[in-house]
């Protein structure tokens, strides 16, 4: 086959274009620090990148869920701690009031302080996380305890508020509603209201008989706090694992997508040298004309 000047020129320009394309891709990798800049650069890397990124996004969503779970548990623990302190003070006052030598005005003074502590317990029962009541099960928009209405209302919604913290694993983060109930004997506010009424009456019943009821209510609060503490400990362990998974997922995504700049720059310099050599060879091929041969 006869090789013509036109064929040499065409091949040179095609090769030159390929060299330009390789230099362009290497330059993009250096600028973006990524192996690929569009899926067509390497479909396998692109598909793996989608999978790794989806996995990382799930882990980061669970990380945000941990923050919400801690908000619920920390606020519940703080509320129950306040409730415990209030109950301890109420018990001290009840012991004092059980002294048969007290006069009516002294018992009424004690009743006034216990009334204030009861109202504080109502505020504790109506604790919110953001705009959500935490002692009302899944009905987070309704106030769980309201003594201002006739009759007073108390939450009966004890459905669990579950937060997903890992794939397929959801934990209950809301406290038991019954610690602040008041509908029947043995319920916190029911017994407190009766205690206050008896203290204000002229002929109080056995005030000392309320001590067992107060102790039972306090134990219920303490036990619920312990249960939430156990959940909190488990969440701490899961959160640690989630952090480790985030590091691993980020590294896998980086290994898949990020360019090795040292290698890319080395390839770029080599390709640049090859490109310059091609230009030099091409110039010597294309440059000669008839006049050059006639000289």
- 139-197 confidence digits (pLDDT tens): 999 999 999 888 899 999 999 999 999 999 999 999 999 999 998 989 999 999 999 99
87 vs 22, residue with greater confidence = 87
Predicted confidence (pLDDT) at residue 109 exceeds the cutoff of 60: yes
**The whole model's pTM is what?**
0.75
pLDDT surpassing 90 at residue 220: yes
Q: What is the mean pLDDT of residues 271-276?
A: 64
Per the rule left: phi > 0, alpha: psi between -120 and 50, beta: everything else, 130 is left
Strands 128-129 vs 145-146: parallel, antiparallel or unpaired? unpaired
User: What is the SS3 assignment for 160?
Assistant: coil
Answer yes or no: are the C-beta atoms of 258 and 35 closer than 8 Å: yes
What is the reported pLDDT for 128? 94
Mean pLDDT, rounded, for 204-209: 86
Highest mean pLDDT range out of 16-25, 122-131, 258-267?
122-131
- Largest alpha-carbon pair distance within the chain? 138
- 51-253: CATH topology is f41 fragment of flagellin, N-terminal domain (1.20.1330)
Mean pLDDT of 37-66: 80
Q: Distance between CA atoms of 29 and 36, rounded to whole angstroms?
A: 7
Q: What is the pLDDT of residues 225-260, one digit of tens each?
A: 999 999 999 999 999 999 999 998 888 876 766 665
Q: What percent of the chain has pLDDT over 70?
A: 70
Of residues 276 and 288, more confidence is placed in 276
Average pLDDT over every residue of 264-277 = 64
Q: What's the pLDDT at 261?
A: 58
Q: Residue 95: its pLDDT value, please?
A: 94
Q: What is the pLDDT of residue 3?
A: 53
Q: pLDDT-derived band of residue 204, with 50, 70 and 90 as boundaries?
A: confident
Q: How many residues does the chain have?
A: 295
Highest mean pLDDT among 30-39, 157-166, 267-276: 157-166
Mutual orientation of helices 188-200 and 43-97 as an angle, nearest 10°?
A: 20
20's tokens? 């330009």
Question: Please, what is the average pLDDT of the chain?
Answer: 83
Per domain, the residue ranges of the chain are 5-33+260-294, 51-253
Read off the pLDDT band of 47 (50, 70, 90): confident
pLDDT at res. 1: 56
């Amino acid at each position: 086959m006869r090789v013509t000047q036109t064929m040499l020129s065409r091949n040179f320009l095609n090769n030159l274009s390929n060299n330009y394309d390789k230099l362009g891709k290497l330059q993009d990798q250096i600028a973006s620090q990524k192996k690929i800049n569009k899926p067509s650069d390497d479909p396998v890397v692109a598909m793996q990148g989608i999978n790794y990124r989806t996995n990382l996004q799930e882990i980061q969503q669970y990380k945000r869920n941990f923050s919400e779970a801690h908000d619920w548990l920390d606020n519940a623990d703080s509320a129950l701690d306040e409730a415990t302190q209030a109950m301890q003070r109420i018990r001290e006052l009840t012991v004092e009031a059980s002294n048969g030598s007290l006069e009516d005005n002294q018992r009424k003074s004690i009743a006034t302080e216990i009334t204030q502590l009861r109202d504080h317990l109502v505020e504790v029962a109506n604790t919110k996380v953001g705009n959500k009541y935490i002692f009302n099960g899944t009905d987070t928009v309704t106030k769980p305890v309201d003594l201002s209405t006739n009759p007073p209302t108390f939450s009966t919604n004890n459905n669990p508020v579950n937060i997903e913290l890992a794939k397929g694993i959801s934990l209950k983060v809301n406290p038991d509603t019954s610690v602040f109930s008041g509908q029947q004997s043995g319920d916190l506010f029911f017994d407190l209201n009766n205690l206050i009424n008896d203290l204000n009456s002229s002929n109080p019943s056995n005030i000392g008989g309320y001590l067992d009821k107060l102790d039972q209510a306090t134990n219920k609060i303490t036990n619920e706090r312990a249960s939430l503490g156990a959940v909190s400990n488990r969440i701490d362990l899961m959160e640690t694992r989630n952090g480790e998974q985030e590091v691993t997922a980020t590294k896998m995504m980086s290994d898949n997508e990020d360019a090795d700049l040292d290698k890319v720059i080395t390839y770029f310099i080599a390709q640049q040298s090859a490109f310059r050599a091609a230009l030099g060879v091409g110039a010597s091929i294309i440059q000669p004309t008839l006049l050059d041969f006639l000289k």
